[in-house]
Amino acid sequence: MDPTLTQAFVGRAGMSSIANCLADGINIKQNTWAGNVQWESSVNKWKVGKYGMFEYLVVAHNGKCAHKLMADAGVPAIHRLTEVRFSDCLNLKDKRMHLCSIWALLVCFPASLGLQFEGNHI
């Protein structure tokens, strides 16, 4: 255990149990589709669609949807953080979030092919 830590969390029933414990007694809307959000600077809260006002907003979605959601939210610095590029090649000079589609093909043969491995990634 690190002696510099002042508090530690252990998820005995999985990592989500930590979040559930910390959220006890707090008004949280989970697994909710929000079509629009707006930062209301006069009250320092987020207006989240039809759900009301909240002090914090967690967007658990990447890519074009998060970028579009934050476009008119009145927070250009956060909107810039959601910029994304789609490519099969990583460009370390491009600081945008990098997304790449993953294609998988599974094939089953009726008998062993006599290869020295059971699976391969190409």
- Overall domain count for the chain: 1
61 Cβ partners below 8 Å, 6+ apart?
69
Q: What is the CA radius of gyration of the chain?
A: 22
Average pLDDT value for residue range 31-52: 91
Residue with tokens 């759900």: 51
pLDDT of residue 122: 67
The tokens describing 77, both together, are 């610095």
Q: Which of 28-32, 70-74, 80-84 has the lowest mean pLDDT?
A: 28-32
pLDDT of residue 93: 92
Q: Residue 90 belongs to what domain range?
A: 1-122
CB 37 within 8 A of CB 46: yes
pLDDT of residue 14: 81
The pTM assigned to this predicted structure is: 0.58
Beta bridge mates, 14: 12
